[in-house]
């Protein structure tokens, strides 16, 4: 029998429903299963709730004294895991039905890396501040396996990833990416470079953690910074649509003109993205502006920004990702 270790990094989220749903499906795996939850410096209210998990059979719950980041905590979880397979899940995931582990069990002979995908609620959230994150998830992330398989390494995400432990430990996640975003971009590149096949399945988890628009925009800005960091340090990411467009504008000598033109409409874009009817085209334009500014060197990185964004769930907080005057050339 082949065992499974489920790895759940925890940050300011109640993971008890997810863990209990997984425990109910353990018999469907046909092998030993253990669940590892590692708290990454959450607020005390969440730690008090999640500590209940330590009393459940087959569950290990531990806490870190301070936040180490998305890559480092997953590396720590993988290092402590005992089984041959690892299932990586985000703490804001929910299982859509009672057959989630059974589908993975049936498919595990197909490849050493299997990606199940993500889905979102069909109806938009009532709160206007959550609409941007919901819309982005529905339009950009909730893709069927057949679509993701067209670019299997480029469409890989670390959430809902079943992978052989020896593969994950050998490659690992880049802990120099301390901000939010693109850990999976580099990991997918390492898998492709190593000749390791990725198979996408229609076995999604339900995303249950919509952030308010200011928080999502801060994370999106951090992800742009990470993309530029990967490109400058290792030449990675040039095949992404966003960076490809930015580099093309640079080659044509249009980078400065595009940034200047966008700065004239920054308040209009800001109002749209914070509204109840956000436009993903406006978001794409904002991300392109950020990326061109990063490549130009006019928008210095802000270490720790992602942690600030994670901790803030109040739309009234300052929105550094939207204060574009600070990032103009």
For 96-119, how does the pLDDT look when each residue is reduced to its tens digit (9 = 90+)? Answer: 999 999 999 999 999 999 999 999
Q: In this model, does residue 151 exceed pLDDT 60? A: yes
Per-residue confidence band for 236, with pLDDT thresholds at 50, 70 and 90: confident
How far apart are alpha carbons 249 and 239 in whole angstroms?
A: 15
pTM: 0.85
pLDDT for 1 equals: 64
Minimum mean pLDDT among 100-114, 117-131, 285-299: which range?
A: 285-299
Contact 78, 195 (CB under 8 A): no
Report which of 1, 9, 7 is spatially closest to residue 27, judged by C-alpha positions: 1
Report which of 244, 253, 242 is spatially closest to residue 289, judged by C-alpha positions: 242
How far apart are alpha carbons 329 and 325 in whole angstroms?
A: 9
106: which residues sit within 8 A by CB, 6+ positions away?
Answer: none
**Phi and psi, residue 302, nearest 5°:** -125, 90
pLDDT for 240 equals: 85
Q: In this model, does residue 327 exceed pLDDT 70? A: no
Strand spans (E) along the chain: 4-10, 33-40, 59-64, 85-88, 93-94, 113-115, 118-119, 161-164, 198-200, 205-207
Per-residue confidence band for 183, with pLDDT thresholds at 50, 70 and 90: confident
pLDDT for 180 equals: 76
Report which of 249, 317, 307, 276 is spatially closest to residue 66, judged by C-alpha positions: 307
Per-residue confidence band for 176, with pLDDT thresholds at 50, 70 and 90: confident
**Phi and psi, residue 218, nearest 5°:** -65, -45
* Cα dist from 21 to 5, 18, 26, 28, whole Å: 15, 5, 9, 12
Question: What is the chain's mean pLDDT, rounded?
Answer: 88
């Amino acid at each position: 029998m082949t065992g499974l270790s489920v790895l759940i990094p925890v940050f300011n989220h109640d993971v008890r429903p997810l863990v209990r749903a997984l425990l109910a499906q353990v018999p469907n795996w046909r092998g030993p299963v253990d669940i590892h939850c590692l708290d990454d410096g959450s607020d005390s209210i969440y730690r008090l709730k999640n500590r209940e998990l330590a009393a459940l059979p087959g569950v290990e719950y531990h806490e870190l004294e301070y936040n180490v980041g998305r890559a480092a905590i997953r590396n720590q979880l993988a290092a402590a895991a005992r089984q041959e397979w690892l299932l990586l899940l985000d703490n804001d995931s929910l299982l859509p039905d009672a057959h989630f582990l059974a589908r993975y069990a049936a498919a595990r002979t197909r490849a050493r890396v299997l990606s199940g995908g993500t889905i979102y609620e069909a109806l938009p959230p009532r709160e206007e501040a959550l609409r941007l994150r919901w819309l982005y998830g529905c339009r950009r992330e909730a893709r069927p396996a057949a679509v993701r398989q067209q670019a299997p390494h480029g469409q890989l995400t670390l959430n809902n990833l079943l992978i052989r432990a020896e593969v994950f430990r050998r490659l690992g996640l880049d802990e120099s990416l301390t901000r939010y975003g693109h850990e999976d971009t580099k990991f997918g590149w390492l898998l492709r470079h190593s000749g390791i096949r990725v198979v996408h399945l229609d076995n999604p988890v339900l995303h249950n953690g919509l952030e308010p628009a200011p928080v999502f925009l801060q994370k999106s800005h951090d992800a742009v910074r990470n993309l530029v960091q990967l490109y400058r340090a290792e030449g990675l990411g040039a095949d992404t649509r966003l960076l490809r467009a930015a580099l093309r504008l640079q080659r044509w000598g249009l980078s400065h003109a595009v940034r200047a033109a966008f700065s004239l409409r920054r308040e209009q874009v800001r109002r749209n993205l914070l509204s109840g009817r956000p436009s993903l085209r406006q978001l794409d334009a904002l991300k392109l502006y950020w990326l061109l500014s990063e490549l130009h060197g006019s928008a210095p990185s802000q270490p720790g920004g992602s942690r600030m964004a994670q901790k803030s769930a109040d739309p009234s907080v300052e929105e550094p990702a939207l204060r574009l005057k600070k990032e103009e050339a």
